[in-house]
Amino acid sequence: MSLSPALRRAAVQEWGPLFTAVRQRLAGHGVRALALTLSAVALTAAIQVTQNQAWGYGPVRSLGAVRAEDPLPLALLRTPLSLFVPALDLPVWGALAQILLVFGVAEVCLGRWRTLAVAYGATLAGTLYARIGVALGPGTFLGLPASDAQVVDTGPSAAVVGLAVYVCHQRRAWFTGALVVLAMVVEVLVKDNLAGREHLAAIAAVLVVCGVREWRGRRRGSRDSGAAVRTCRRAAAGPGPGRRR
């Protein structure tokens, strides 16, 4: 059954710019456009194999496992690698698929370094929220139970959620971005745990960044418009009385 013209137009408006950007980038650069994404997939798979070995579990936990009870400097050092340490209680294929899809689209649309910055920022927001939530305690709105301080906090999910929201904002895919946010809210309502709360913290941090970018863009546009108006007025007024024609 074919889509109605209205649905087709809505789909093109929602995903058209994103699809065009991905297609053009891949056509022009090939697999090189996904160098970061493929490296992240390979690193995550290698860490998964390593941590499931008797000799590898300890080193992976020492280098990439973050807990809210850890000293902050140590947690900050472990956070970058923790992004690529799959959770042991979840299928690794889910993490690999998330990285391949969302990191891939983000790398094409945002570039390599901005993708890394957003992914790390979203992960860091979740990590810091866990510490704040445990300090606030379970009796407050944003508080967490003390037992969450001992939960091992790893995996790419906070980075994936943050990147998805950021790309949707950049490409003006408002409906898709709203669905991502709504899905994370429903996740917390259905199963209120540390991971779900951290996803919301990552979204909040990314939305703040998007809001600042939007404000700066409008402010820059207002300045440019004002400068253009002043230039036109000076041109219309012509040369001053003492100027040669």
pLDDT score recorded for residue 83: 94
Flag whether 157 is in a domain: yes
Strands (E), the chain: none
Flag whether 239 is in a domain: no
Flag whether 82 is in a domain: yes
pLDDT-based confidence at residue 165 (cuts at 50, 70, 90): very high
Query: What is the CATH classification number for the domain harbouring 163?
Result: 1.20.1540.10
Residue of 20 and 117 predicted with greater confidence: 117
Flag whether 24 is in a domain: yes
pLDDT-based confidence at residue 157 (cuts at 50, 70, 90): very high
Mean pLDDT of 66-88: 93
Q: For residue 230, is pLDDT > 90? A: no
Q: At what angle do helices 57-64 and 35-51 cross, to 10 degrees?
A: 130
pLDDT score recorded for residue 244: 44
Which CB contacts under 8 angstroms, 24+ apart, belong to 193-200?
Answer: 194/130, 194/144, 194/148, 194/151, 194/153, 195/155, 195/157, 197/126, 197/129, 197/130, 197/133, 197/144, 198/125, 198/126, 198/127, 198/129, 198/130, 198/153, 198/158, 199/126, 199/157, 199/158, 199/161
User: Which residues constitute the domain of residue 216?
Assistant: 5-233
pLDDT score recorded for residue 36: 95
pLDDT-based confidence at residue 238 (cuts at 50, 70, 90): low
Residue of 5 and 172 predicted with greater confidence: 172
Q: For residue 240, is pLDDT > 80? A: no
Flag whether 240 is in a domain: no
**Residue partners of 183: CB distance under 8 A and separation at least 6:** none
Mean per-residue pLDDT over the chain, rounded: 88
Flag whether 37 is in a domain: yes
Q: For residue 53, is pLDDT > 80? A: yes
Instruction: Write down the pTM of the prediction.
Output: 0.86
Residue of 191 and 241 predicted with greater confidence: 191
Flag whether 238 is in a domain: no
163 in Cβ contact with 199 (< 8 Å): no
Flag whether 22 is in a domain: yes
- β-bridge partners, 66: 153
pLDDT score recorded for residue 9: 82
- The number of distinct structural domains making up the chain is 1
